[in-house]
Amino acid sequence: MKHWPTMLLGIIVAAIFLVAVFSFQVNEKETVVVTTLGRIEGADYGPGLHFRWPYPIQEIFKFDHRYRCFSGIIGENEETMTQDSKNIIVGMFINYRIADAKEFYRKLETVRSGEEIINSWMRGYTMETFGRYDFDELINTDPKEMRLEKIQQEILEKLRARAAPYGLKISSVGIKALNIPEDITKKVFERMKQERNVVAAKYLAEGNKRARQIEIATDSKKQFILTEAEAKAKEIRAQGDAEAAQYYAIFKESPELAAFLRKLESLRKIMNSKTTLILDTDSAPFDIFKINAEQLTQPVIKK
């Protein structure tokens, strides 16, 4: 009885060893392929603990079934040629996952070998698809002329059809880099600059034309306003001359009154503010100060 703790510990260790040898665990992000003596038994194992025969009777192969982002193994950017014989450097990426672990293991066995064959598909379809489009359809100042989205869709459809028999599901394809060799860059920039200059010249010509139209319309309106103003001035001047003629007739009847009013007007202009003057009253127009009150009260116009 004194050795029972040791025996209990041995039993527990043996039980743990047997569980480890005769079982395997699957988590939620994994899918499992079980082989019995090299023959695939199945892959429908959900998350949790499962029974197995020990190696070498059965082997367990686990694969992560989440999506992976893959952009190539040997050089992420590849140089290829367009339909009009222009060199470009393209970088592609795909998002894929292992949808059927049994087919994937049967044909590819490992993720490394799977990505190697995906890499060869990507390179082949990228070169083939880009080779059917001109350079202007890839790089252009007008977004409507570009065909990059169409190229991505074509490559995606080809990769999906090719990868499906291998238990792979490709969700998306994208262009992450599109460059041109340095010797072509200057020519491309020069051509784009010329295109922008043509567009700028077009807008400049339209602006000059519009400015000239506005200038002509403004000059016409200005001339019309000046003509109307001149006509109105002549009309006012004629009315003033007619009214002045009436006063001239009155002044002819009384020259003394006319001279007196002119002198008052001159004084009003000379002394329009507080002013102190010492002047000779014998000089006009200050001689009016010599007029006495009796002369000012006498009527100047006889009726």
Q: What are the tens digits of pLDDT across the range 161-171?
A: 999 999 999 99
| In a domain? residue 194 | no
Residue 293 has pLDDT above 60, yes or no: no
Handedness of CA 50, 55, 56, 61 (dihedral sign): positive
Mean pLDDT (the chain) is 79
| In a domain? residue 255 | no
| In a domain? residue 159 | yes
Tell me the mean pLDDT in the region 145-160: 92
**pLDDT (0 to 100) of residue 170:** 94
User: Domain ends where: 180, 208, 223?
Assistant: 180
| In a domain? residue 266 | no
User: Domain ends where: 48, 63, 78?
Assistant: 63
pLDDT tens string 206-223: 888 888 889 888 888 888
Handedness of CA 13, 16, 18, 20 (dihedral sign): negative
* Tally of domains in the chain: 2
| In a domain? residue 118 | yes
Q: How far apart are the first and last CA of the chain?
A: 165
Residue 155 has pLDDT above 90, yes or no: yes
Tell me the mean pLDDT in the region 182-204: 75
Residue 140 has pLDDT above 70, yes or no: yes
Any idea what the CATH number is for the domain that residue 125 is in?
3.30.479.30
Same-domain check for residues 18 and 74: no
Grade residue 88 by pLDDT with cuts at 50, 70 and 90: confident
Residue 40 has pLDDT above 70, yes or no: yes
| In a domain? residue 289 | no
* More confident call, 263 vs 238: 238
CA distance 48 to 26: 5
Residue 301 has pLDDT above 50, yes or no: no
**pLDDT (0 to 100) of residue 154:** 94
Q: What is the 3-state secondary structure (H, E, C) of 162-180?
A: HHHHHCEEEEEEEEEEEEC
Name, in order, each residue with C-beta under 8 angstroms of 26's C-beta and a sequence gap of 6 or more: 32, 45, 46, 47, 48, 50, 62
Q: What torsion, rounded to 10 degrees, do the Cα atoms 217, 218, 219, 220 define?
A: 50
**pLDDT (0 to 100) of residue 296:** 47
Same-domain check for residues 51 and 75: no
> The domain containing residue 57 runs over which residues?
4-63
| In a domain? residue 203 | no
Same-domain check for residues 41 and 76: no
**pLDDT (0 to 100) of residue 168:** 94
Tell me the mean pLDDT in the region 260-265: 72
Residue 248 has pLDDT above 90, yes or no: no
| In a domain? residue 259 | no
**pLDDT (0 to 100) of residue 20:** 67
Tell me the mean pLDDT in the region 252-263: 70
**pLDDT (0 to 100) of residue 277:** 63
Residue 6 has pLDDT above 90, yes or no: no
